[in-house]
Structure 1
Amino acid sequence: MSRAATTLILIAVAALAGIAAHWIGLPLPYLLGPLSVTALIATGLPTTLPAGYAFPNWLRMIFIAIIGLMIGARVTPELFVNAERLVASLLALIAFVGIALAWNYVIFRHLGGYDRATAFYSSTPGGLYESLAMGEDAGADMPRLILQQFLRVIVVVTVLPIALSLWLGAPVGSAGGMTLARASVPLEALPVILVAGAIGIVAGKVLRLPAGQLTGPMAVAAALSLTSLMPLDIPQWLVNVAQIIVGTALGMRFIGLSRALILRGLGLSLASVGGMLIVAVAFAALLAPVTGEHFDVMLISFAPGGVTEMALVALSLHANPAFVTLHHIVRILITVIGLALSARHLRRTL
């Protein structure tokens, strides 16, 4: 079977899994459903895939850009009305990243027994792709590093929306029917969306932005929204397709990983994420009176998970998703800047 045919079949199977996950009521169904089924294929049926198969990176990049546009379109001037309160919570993220990194290093180094490079780069609470790239340069065990970084995101975006749903007594996020997209957008808007996404991808690469394929398009959409030049509306069907593609690409990252390794990594990830969420709860409780935001809004602003799902949960709580998204982007920036500053030293000592 050709690689192109394999990709098309995987996307079709992933789409069916997304529909099923939506019917069941899972949070972020069109991401987690495809991710789950393709991860099962990658680990349980690897011989059905062509030798050396990898999901096309260019395809994943296009649809990550769509998600970036969707988030950026929600950035409005109202987000910066209480700038002084916003600064307090953004500064607190520096402390959060440091504490989370230290906690995770203890888990992966001493409980997991990982070597120093693998433990350190597995510990970062953000900057997934940057952590993988720098970890590879530092000689980290890449299968374990990939596993732990992806499990961090998966565990947070699965556990937190479910926990909040139980606490609030009603579904939140995409399980509650929330979306950052528009249901009815004319097809004539697609060329504008594609051009904005392409400009964003190029800008992300040229400016070397962290997670540039996401943050570049997000910055373009935010600029268009803030200036009212051409606010973008992203149709819901396109967002669903984007999540299916991204979920499929993530699931294929598990090719070559044994079930035993995955189960052990999941146990370590639960300990890691559990500790980070406890820290996030503490910061949320401290900052809620300072920022004037509700405790649950601050909690999802600090939770080290997926940008998209946390923004969807924010909609369920009648909060501005751009407020939540900004915190997550800053968390990623702080993490990546910290990695960049320490990379040379780490290469000498790890």
Structure 2
Amino acid sequence: MAPDSLQLIASWPVSLAGLVVELVLIIALTGWMLVKVFKLDAGTAYLSSFPGHLSFILGIAAAGVGDSRQIVIIQVIRILMLTIAVPVGAVFLPIDHFTPPAPTDFLDIGQLLALGAGCVVVGLVFVWLKVPAGFVLGSMAAATAAKLGGLYVEAIPTPLVTVTFILTGALIGSRFAGITRAEFMSAAKGGLIATAMTVAIVTVVTYAVSLVVDMPFGQIWLGLSPGALEGMGALGIALGYDTAFIAAHHVIRLLLLSFAIPAVVVLIRRREAAAIARQQ
């Protein structure tokens, strides 16, 4: 995200309003379903309902919010359904080969150390304030503020990004250790139903937006889709849609989730504390 990314917010007000409504409905309805139907605790259910930011969610779960194993299964089911279905569908479309844009400027060692130090300091402040997953949220807040503030525009060096993804994948895989077949099947059913609900909500909201704005239904759906940015971008290119529209909506979706996830976690923690106080 570049400092001028926020200027895109004013470009598509109706579809962005639809994006906000969609996220509220997805989180509220799928979270409620997982609590009522599958009897998951609120932390597990609502962290499983967020359409995106898996590594961020796992960081919060690792700090003791919800059952990280259940969250991983449900979230991975959602990602697999989207990322597998999109390429399979793309096989039947006339997609030309293209080279994805790659960064050319990278942070140097001094910038990395300064950014790392800032993340540590803000993380410690968040821990002191007893914010859930303080280091995760603090680091993300510090890096985002620095990026949007124009303190740096370069990208993270590729080897460092690669190592980060490897460690994130190892963390995700480690959560499957000790999971029984019955436990996996139960969580997988929740994941399938939650994903189906999410896709249905996106489709309904897309239809409502398409009645107001003069855009192809497919372009709006790809922009409001619950994840799989790379696949949706590829389909957008294949179908001749405005890829800036699609990319901008996915960036804003992730930005909104960055604020929504910790806010929901704080609310869950407060409800749990109030319930314990009433029992005493």
Compute the TM-score of the two structures, normalised by the length of structure 2: 0.69
Q: Structure 1 residues 314 and 227, CA, compared in 2 at 3 Å: closer, same or farther?
A: farther
Aligned to 1:112: none
Aligned to 2:273: 344
Deviation at 1:248, TM superposition (A): 0.7
Q: Structure 1 residues 272 and 119, CA, compared in 2 at 3 Å: closer, same or farther?
A: farther
Residues 126 and 137 in structure 2, CA contact (< 8 A), matched pair in contact too? no
The answer to whether structure 1 residue 105 and structure 2 residue 40 are counterparts is no
Aligned to 2:240: none
Residues 108 and 268 in structure 1, CA contact (< 8 A), matched pair in contact too? yes
Cα deviation, 1:281-317, whole Å, max 9, x if unaligned, reads 33343345668772111123xx5xxxxxx45446544
Residues 105 and 154 in structure 2, CA contact (< 8 A), matched pair in contact too? no
Q: Structure 1 residues 134 and 169, CA, compared in 2 at 3 Å: closer, same or farther?
A: same
The answer to whether structure 1 residue 220 and structure 2 residue 112 are counterparts is no
Aligned to 2:158: 236
Residues 210 and 332 in structure 1, CA contact (< 8 A), matched pair in contact too? no
Q: Given the alignment, which residue of 110, 115, 119 partners 1:196?
A: 115
Residues 122 and 148 in structure 1, CA contact (< 8 A), matched pair in contact too? yes
- In structure 2, what is the Cα distance between the partners aligned to 1:326 and 1:219? 11
Unpaired segments ≥5 residues, structure 2: 51-56, 237-242
- In structure 2, what is the Cα distance between the partners aligned to 1:284 and 1:99? 17
- In structure 2, what is the Cα distance between the partners aligned to 1:343 and 1:287? 37
Superposition pairs for residues 278-317 of structure 1, below 5 Å?
A: 278-287=200-209, 294-300=220-226, 310-313=228-231, 315-316=233-234, 317=236
Residues paired across the two proteins, number: 246
Q: Structure 1 residues 84 and 296, CA, compared in 2 at 3 Å: closer, same or farther?
A: closer
Percent identity between the aligned chains? 20
The answer to whether structure 1 residue 322 and structure 2 residue 251 are counterparts is yes
Secondary structure in 1 aligned to 2:175?
helix
Q: Structure 1 residues 193 and 159, CA, compared in 2 at 3 Å: closer, same or farther?
A: farther
Residues 3 and 147 in structure 2, CA contact (< 8 A), matched pair in contact too? yes
Aligned to 2:188: 266
Q: Given the alignment, which residue of 258, 264, 278 partners 1:335?
A: 264
Amino acid at match of 2:272: A
Deviation at 1:252, TM superposition (A): 1.7
Compute the TM-score of the two structures, normalised by the length of structure 1: 0.57
Deviation at 1:243, TM superposition (A): 0.6
Amino acid at match of 1:103: M
Q: Given the alignment, which residue of 203, 207, 229 partners 2:126?
A: 207
CA RMSD of aligned residues (A): 3.6
Residues 221 and 231 in structure 1, CA contact (< 8 A), matched pair in contact too? no
Aligned to 2:8: 79
Amino acid at match of 1:106: K
